[in-house]
């Protein structure tokens, strides 16, 4: 140890820089870390939503296909069952049932389409919390503009 090293820590590490530049660097590092964390959260939510959507579409497509085939066979069964007595009435009632069921399904689909999905709710909540933690604009001292300086 030289006589000029009396300000250095005893364990040999360099002293932490201080001053305005070091504070600005620390603020920048914290800001970058915060943005990185928020982007990771955003990415995770996006992946979860994509997985949920694909799973829902897959099950919906399977249900649509199976229910459609089942309804066609039910319509054929009822028509054949009532062939001798009232085949036209059976076909008319079955057609009406399909049209009403399709209308209800379309109405439900439109209702769900216009409902809010809650996508990125956690990210937005975190950003609101971050914004609330920042000081209000009114609390900050006024900046000296270049017009006031001259």
Q: Tokens 């009403």 belong to which residue? A: 100
- pTM listed for this prediction: 0.44
* Sign of torsion over alpha carbons 131, 136, 137, 141: negative
| 103-129 confidence digits (pLDDT tens) | 898 888 888 878 777 767 777 787 788
CA 82/CA 74 separation, integer angstroms: 12
Burial 71-81 (b: 16+ CB within 10 A, else e): eeeebeebeee
Task: Please report which confidence band the pLDDT of residue 150 belongs to, taking 50, 70 and 90 as the band edges.
Answer: very low
CA 150/CA 137 separation, integer angstroms: 25
Q: pLDDT higher for 99 or 2?
A: 99
């Amino acid at each position: 140890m030289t006589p000029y090293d009396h300000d250095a820590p005893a364990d040999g590490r360099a002293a932490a820089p201080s001053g305005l530049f070091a504070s600005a660097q620390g603020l920048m590092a914290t800001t970058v870390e915060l943005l990185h964390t928020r982007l990771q959260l955003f990415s995770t939510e996006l992946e979860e939503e994509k997985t949920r959507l694909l799973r829902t579409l897959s099950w919906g497509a399977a249900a649509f296909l199976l229910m459609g085939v089942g309804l066609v066979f039910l319509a054929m069964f009822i028509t054949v069952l009532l062939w001798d007595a009232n085949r036209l009435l059976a076909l008319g009632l079955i057609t009406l049932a399909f049209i009403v069921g399709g209308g209800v399904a379309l109405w439900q689909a439109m209702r769900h389409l216009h409902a809010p999905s809650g996508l990125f709710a956690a990210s937005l909540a975190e950003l609101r919390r971050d914004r609330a933690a920042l000081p209000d604009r009114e609390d900050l001292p006024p900046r000296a503009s270049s017009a006031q300086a001259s």
